[in-house]
Amino acid sequence: MSSDIYKDIILDYYRNPRNFGDLPDPDVRAKDSNPLCGDIIEMQLKIGDGKVNDIRFKGKGCAISQASASMLTEAVKGKTLDEVKGMGKPNVLELLGIDPGPTRIKCALLALKVLKLAVYGHLGQAVGEEVKQLA
Amino acid sequence: MVEKLETINAARIREDFPVLKRQVNDKLLVYLDSAATSQKPNTVINAISRYYREYNANVHRGIYKLAEEATLAHEEARENVAKFINTRRTSEIVFTRNTTEALNLTAYSWGRANVGKGDKIVLTIMEHHSNIVPWQLLAEEKGAEVSFVKIDENGELRQDEVQEQIDERTKIVCVTHASNVLGTINPIRDIGRVAHRYGALFLVDAAQSVPHMPVDVQDIDCDFAAFSGHKMLGPTGIGVLYGKTEYLESMPPFLGGGEMIREVHTTGSSWKDPPYKFEAGTPNISGAIGLGAAVNYLRAIGMKHVHDHEKEITRYALDRLKQVEELKIYGPTDADRRVGVVSFNLGDIHSHDLASILDEEGIAIRSGHHCAQPLMEFLQIPATSRASFYIYNTKEEVDVLIGALEKARKLFAR
């Protein structure tokens, strides 16, 4: 069956999540859930020189939420914290290769929200409305 | 209008529902979410439209032709609903916004006057949030206790817990007639008898039963019942609280304002008799008229036929679903003990993923916790997918569902 939303790549990341699990000694961790869906994502980061040196995630939920989390961990490894702060919905949609539509967009953006919570938390900066409203 | 038939001719009934002709993602819509809200027949849509086109006016006050017609239509709707569930008096029908408001009204007005510290409110683990939260709010305010009757492995209420939990301290027992997740039809007559034996009142959440099967409130002998118009072919924004006259009369008002008063003075006010005491402000006139038309439509078909048709579809769906590999069905396996609501999970596919895949096939099902988180917690699952049926659904639609589930299973297979 061809599915518009569930491209092979999304299912692959869902089935075989990259960077899944715990980091030894993370510098920062953040966790959030989407109460409507029950999607849960936790991100753990190693940070040095203002960069994401290592990152892992844990979570439970739908394929969209878990695949986007896994893809995001790959995409931000080595990126500066400023670059991560500058990421938004288009970056996630580009990684997924689809727009999941208005009913599922929060599933796709939960990982980015958690990632940003971690980065802002690490920097000791206040989290803006635009982050809170991602998912 | 449909004539009295021996069985339901769903193909003919479908002609009455314009939305069922819609294409979704280039596929004919397969609507399997009537437990959330039903579709509307032309007769309901036209009744609402006719009110706005021909006799729109406020009710109960105007001394002119249009107001008289609007008032008559509004009160005729009340009579239709009263007959539909066989109340002793028409005044036992209070119009609300929906089931949720009807339950809140009861918890607020009756509850605050009758429940005190140390009293007990008995619910069941399969209640919708709307039949839990208002009672929790009341219990918190009054220092009362809320307890939950659990279910067995078949998704049916444990009778030993019914007997155990309802006791001398119990002031009210609130039970759903039919579960919006498991489909279970509860033995409410028996539970009501236990409640009354201890002097407790008995409230039935009839949101999933009144639209789908014959419900006779005198036969059930419940003290309150609540249901929504939009789940029974009527419009959104109109619901019903049934209450026995003796309780409606003794209860304090809910909302204060126009329509509900007899006299207002600077020193104090007095109330109208029920049901108007509980209907402050301009009511949902078009909603009531639409609900009246929906009730007429259902009565013309006959609720026994509605129930039989849904049982047949449900039996067929259960049989077919059982054959889908890795699919787990929740609730009673016997279609006779259910309404047309079937919850399931397919392997480890998250129900939202499943709903998205089915949507691509034009199939509308519900996924999530169905406003029943305590039940989900009890079953130790985050969510389910739910297909629910009504008079317009067919076995062919169940086949389409099964085909799409097989596709989803293959798509998600490792």
- Residue A2 included in any domain: no
What band does B414 get if pLDDT is binned at 50, 70 and 90? Answer: low
At residue A103, the pLDDT reads: 87
Distance CA B275, CA B290 (A): 19
Interface test with A, best of B25, B129, B346, B350 (most A CBs within 10 A): B350
Enter the tokens of residue B60. 């109960």
Q: What pLDDT does residue A1 have? A: 43
Q: What is the pLDDT of residue A8?
A: 86
When pLDDT is averaged across residues B371-393 and rounded to a whole number, the result is 95
Dist CA B336 CA B93 (whole Å): 29
More confident: B411 or B6: B411
What total number of domains does chain A contain? 1
Q: What is the DSSP letter of A102?
A: T
Query: Is B360 close to A11, i.e. CB distance below 8 A?
Result: no
**B371 flagged as catalytic:** yes
Rounded to two decimals, the ipTM of the complex is 0.87
Residue A114 domain boundaries: 8-122
Asked if B303 and B311 touch (Cβ cutoff 8 Å), the reply is no
Where residue B306 falls among pLDDT bands split at 50, 70, 90? very high
pLDDT > 90: percent of chain B: 94
Q: Can you tell me the mean pLDDT for B54-67? A: 93
Residue A128 lies in a domain: no
- Residue A34: the pLDDT is 87
Chain B residues within 8 A of A102 when measuring between CB atoms: none
Return the minimum-mean-pLDDT range out of B51-55, B120-124, B262-266, B402-406. B262-266
Q: Which residue has the tokens 């208002």?
A: B134
Which residues of chain A are under the pLDDT cut of 70? 1-2
Q: What is the DSSP letter of A103?
A: T
Is residue A111 situated within a structural domain?
Answer: yes
Q: Tell me if B352 and A4 make a contact (CB, 8 A cut-off).
A: no
Give yes or no for B356 touching A (CB within 8 A).
yes
Chain A CB contacts of B381 under 8 Å are none
Q: What is the pLDDT of residue B62?
A: 83
* Residue in B20, B30, B85, B371 annotated catalytic: B371
Q: Are A91 and A68 in contact (CB under 8 A)?
A: no
Q: Give the pairing of strands B201-205 and B170-176.
A: parallel
Quick one: which H or E segment has residue A76? helix A63-76
**CB–CB of B282/B258 below 8 Å?**
yes
- The one-letter code for the residue type at A129 is E
Q: Long-range CB contacts (< 8 A, 24+ apart) of A122-131?
A: A122/A27, A122/A28, A122/A45, A122/A47, A122/A81, A123/A81
- The mean per-residue pLDDT over the stretch B353-368 comes to 95
Q: At residue B108, does pLDDT exceed 90?
A: yes
- What phi, psi does B302 have (nearest 5°)? 100, 125
The band of B6, judged by pLDDT with boundaries at 50, 70 and 90, is low
Does A100 reach chain B within 8 Å, measured CB to CB?
A: yes
Residues of B within 8 A of A1 (CB-CB) are: 407-408, 410-411
The overall average pLDDT reported for chain B is 96
Domains of chain B by start residue, with CATH: 10-31+302-406 (3.90.1150.10), 46-299 (3.40.640.10)
In Å, how far is B292's CA from the nearest CA of chain A? 33
CA A106 vs CA A117, B22, B370: distances in Å: 15, 27, 18
Contact assessment for residue B286 and residue B52, using Cβ atoms and an 8 Å cutoff: yes
- Which whole number is the average pLDDT over B100-112? 98
Reduce the secondary structure of chain B to three states and give it as a string.
Answer: CCCCCCCCCHHHHHCCCHHHHCEECCEECEECECCCCCCCCHHHHHHHHHHHHHCCCCCCCCCCHHHHHHHHHHHHHHHHHHHHCCCCCHHHEEEECCHHHHHHHHHHHHHHHHCCCCCEEEEECCCCHHHCHHHHHHHHHHCCEEEEECECCCCCECHHHHHHHCCCCEEEEEEECECCCCCEECCHHHHHHHHHHCCCEEEEECCCCCCCCCCCHHHHCCCEEEEECHHHCCCCCCEEEEECHHHHHHCCCCCCCCCCEEEEECCEEEECCCCHHHCCCCCCHHHHHHHHHHHHHHHHHCHHHHHHHHHHHHHHHHHHHHCCCCEEEECCCCHHHECCEEEEEECCCCHHHHHHHHHHCCEECEEECCCCHHHHHHHCCCCEEEEECCCCCCHHHHHHHHHHHHHHHHHHCC
Residue A69 confidence (pLDDT)? 97
State the CATH number of the domain containing residue A29. 3.90.1010.10
Cα atoms in the 13 Å half-sphere on the side-chain side of B341: 31
Q: How confident is the model at residue B5 (pLDDT cuts 50, 70, 90)?
A: low
Residue A58 belongs to a domain: yes
What integer is the mean pLDDT of B192-206? 98
Contacts of B414 in chain A (CB under 8 A): 15
Share of chain B above pLDDT 70, in %: 98
C-alpha neighbours within 13 Å on the C-beta side of residue B142? 24
A53 within domain boundaries: yes
CA B93, CA B383: separation in Å to the nearest integer? Answer: 35
Q: Which of residues 204-263 of B touch A (CB under 8 A)?
A: none
Query: What is the separation of C-alpha B357 from the centre of its chain, rounded to a whole number of angstroms?
Result: 28
Is the confidence at residue B375, as pLDDT, over 90? yes
Q: Does residue B275 have a cis peptide bond before it, meaning omega lies within 30 degrees of 0?
A: yes
Rounded distance between C-alpha atoms, residue B123 and residue B175, angstroms: 6
Distance of alpha carbon B319 from alpha carbon B323, whole angstroms? 7
Q: Please answer yes or no on whether B412 and A4 come within 8 Å at the CB atom.
A: no
pTM over 0.80: yes
Rounded distance, CA B126 to CA B150, Å?
8
| Residue A133 covered by a domain | no
Contacts of B132 (CB under 8 A, 6+ apart): B123, B146, B374
Residue A129 lies inside a defined structural domain of this protein: no
Q: Is B148 left (phi over 0), alpha (psi -120 to 50) or beta?
A: beta
Q: Which amino acid is at B206?
A: A
Which of the residues B26, B348, B352 would you substitute to probe the A interface, choosing the one with the greatest number of A C-beta atoms within 10 Å? Answer: B352
Give the pLDDT confidence score for residue B239 in this predicted structure. 98
CB pairs under 8 A between A and B: 45
Q: Which residues of B touch A37 (CB under 8 A)?
A: 350, 352, 368, 383
Other Cβ atoms less than 10 A from the Cβ of B189: the count is 12
A132 located within any domain: no
